[in-house]
Chain A
């Protein structure tokens, strides 16, 4: 990934950006996010198939914004998250430099927002293949089997909110689950509280989820909670023909409407 390192160095040296967010291998060999502000340290940047975390989650954090202008190593999900964050007016494209990486690991030249737009436009935006298969299998189950499957999975939940914290779209400074006047959902981590939390999370991400799968990856107890949001991503496309994170001007699916939206269950 020499090109990436060279580009990162260049950006830091000519002070275009103050920090580069990318990936590095930690002392134990585990890949993790790196915040590089000294060009001399740019050599530690790596990019390979282990670099899966969605780095866009850092773009809305005050302590990261505080560092100055950011260059961010961006695979497709990161670019889509950036697009989504711009459309929701959480960040502006001027605050960042996108170090785009193609699906086969090549550094892209993302000169401006329209180039990024073009790259997203010609990419496959549906859910990743491995999850498509899982989703299809789950959909085949009977309602009772689905209920049992999710109850079993959600019973593992400890409400550490890693799914929320890992998600670039969950940037609210105060989450509904933390509001207790009125208390919208049960804070307890039990069968009922866990289910309500995961319904709430999925619904608040409907039409906003860009299918990176980060929530499921972050979960310390291995709940496939990303399947809930990915299912809704599928359905949003199915009903409204929209994928999240595809345009800086896109309106949030759940806060707009088309008069001819089709449904079959309202009597």
Chain B
């Protein structure tokens, strides 16, 4: 497992975390290169289906990040997002799907160092957890195989 490099997808909002990640770079702060950033207008736009899509396309971990509460560019997008994540997490926990593979965070445009920290801790954690085998198996399991086992 030592050569396992986790694939992490980061869903970030345009106004805070994306700008924060930009600051990380311009401040010459180094952080793990495992993360692939996808920029959204707002965390309110990040549908839970997108997270499932990331897992089904082979992500081992996910970061979802946006403006701190009360700092949303659109006033309330992150509050809506928060409610959604609360429910999503409860549902996933109830179905036994590993939520420790998803980091939810608030990172502002001024927190370049914090972004590096969020990414690094997530990468370390996912590295310990290993590849998300159970989800990958789920995706690859063809109907024929299911029938065979059934």
Contact = CB atoms under 8 A, between A and B. Distances in A.
Contact of B94 (A185, A231, A255, A266): A231
Given A200-B49, A267-B118, A138 B94 contact: yes
B114 to A, nearest CB: 9
Given A147-B95, A232-B90, A265-B104, A257 B143 contact: no
B87 A232 contact: yes
B95 A146 contact: yes
Given A195-B138, A263-B85, A143 B98 contact: yes
B10 to A, nearest CB: 13
Given A257-B76, A261-B83, A266-B106, A147 B143 contact: no
B87 A235 contact: yes
Interface residues of A, number: 50
Interface string B78-107: 011011111111111111111100011110
Interface in B51-82: 52-53, 56, 69-70, 76, 79-80, 82
Interface string A125-158: 0000000000000110111111111110001000
Contact of B90 (A144, A196, A231, A261): A231
Nearest to A139: B94
Contacts of A257: 76, 79-80, 82-83
Nearest to A240: B83
A141 to B, nearest CB: 8
Interface string A241-264: 000000000000111111101010
A14 B80 CA distance: 48
Interface string A183-221: 011101111100110011011001100000000000000
Interface residues of B, number: 41
B3 interface: no
A267 B49 CA distance: 22
A191 B56 CA distance: 12
Given A139-B94, A143-B96, A199-B52, 19 more contacts: A143-B97, A145-B96, A151-B138, A184-B49, A188-B143, A192-B139, A196-B49, A199-B48, A231-B90, A231-B91, A239-B86, A240-B83, A254-B80, A255-B80, A257-B76, A257-B83, A258-B79, A261-B86, A267-B104
Interface of B: 48-49, 52-53, 56, 69-70, 76, 79-80, 82-99, 103-106, 118, 134, 138-139, 141-143, 146, 150
26 contacts: A139-B94, A141-B96, A145-B96, A146-B96, A184-B53, A190-B143, A190-B146, A199-B92, A203-B91, A206-B87, A228-B91, A231-B94, A235-B90, A240-B83, A254-B80, A254-B87, A257-B79, A257-B83, A259-B70, A261-B82, A263-B86, A265-B104, A266-B104, A266-B106, A267-B104, A267-B105
